[in-house]
Chain A
């Protein structure tokens, strides 16, 4: 299953290639002089417990809508050239890719700021939930640091 509302926004089961995504974004403009990426990956240790697997669930349509809003606001407010956001759902193994944000701009400064803002905003406003499987069972993660 793959749900896409915009070519720059994707919530998908499948893994993605960071290189391919960056190359695709470089083609947007010849004025790109800086690219900042944030890549979130599956971490083994959480609150002192070993995690064997992660599982992400989302609210279809609303989650895509929120990611599209984040992208549009980032472009408008930070003066970047473009942004793409990919978030995986379903089972994720330790070390696998979870989320990728690519921010492109004429200069590096605005892309750093936009990228950091976008991941924080994603966590704050996008209906995506993480379930961790440990040796003691499964738990839905509800903190948003």
Chain B
């Protein structure tokens, strides 16, 4: 079981803040993106267009990062903290 977290506008797009997903074997971020695309095509599109950053266990991930059972994956839109 892995935990998926959505932040800021992605909560609206995914229509949830958090979900759990069963994975039988470790998968890559790329493979997870394919799974997400099937349930939420808009998310898949934004991931492909690199409008979303993805972290695994609070570290920035790449498409090749391996996700294991128990990991926490977060979908992060561009940051806008601080002030201009």
The interface residues of chain A lying within 8 Å CB-to-CB of B81 are: 56, 58, 63, 87, 99, 122-123, 126-130
For A127, what are the chain B residues with a Cβ–Cβ distance below 8 Å? 7, 55, 74, 76, 79, 81
A131 within 8 A of B: yes
Q: Mark B46-84, 1 if CB is under 8 A from A, else 0.
A: 000000000100100000000000000010111111111
- Across-interface contacts of A119 in B (CB, < 8 A): 82
Report whether B79 and A128 are in contact in the complex, using a CB–CB cutoff of 8 Å.
yes
B8 contacts A131, C-beta separation under 8 Å: yes
Q: A61-B58, A65-B58, A140-B8 are in contact. Are A129 and B82 (CB under 8 A)?
A: no
Q: Which secondary structure dominates chain B's binding surface?
A: loop
User: Which chain B residue shows the least CB distance to A40?
Assistant: B83
**How many pairs of A and B residues are in contact by the CB < 8 Å rule?**
74
One of A41, A43, A126, A131 near B79 (C-beta < 8 A):
A126
Q: Which residues from A are CB-within-8-Å of B25?
A: none
Shortest distance between the CB of A70 and any CB in chain B (Å): 11
User: Which residues of chain A are within 8 angstroms of B83 by Cβ–Cβ distance?
Assistant: 40-41, 43, 98-99
The residues of B that contact A98 with a CB separation of less than 8 Å are: 82-83
B82: which of A43, A122, A142 is its contact (CB, 8 Å)?
Answer: A122
Residues of B contacting A3 with CB < 8 Å? none
Q: How far is the CB of B18 from chain A (nearest CB, A)?
A: 12
Closest to B11 in A: A57
Q: List 21 A-B contacts (CB under 8 A).
A: A41-B83, A62-B55, A62-B58, A63-B81, A87-B82, A98-B82, A98-B83, A99-B81, A122-B82, A123-B81, A123-B82, A125-B79, A127-B7, A127-B55, A127-B79, A127-B81, A128-B80, A128-B81, A128-B82, A129-B8, A142-B78
Residues in chain B within 8 A of chain A (CB atoms): 5, 7-9, 55, 58, 74, 76-84
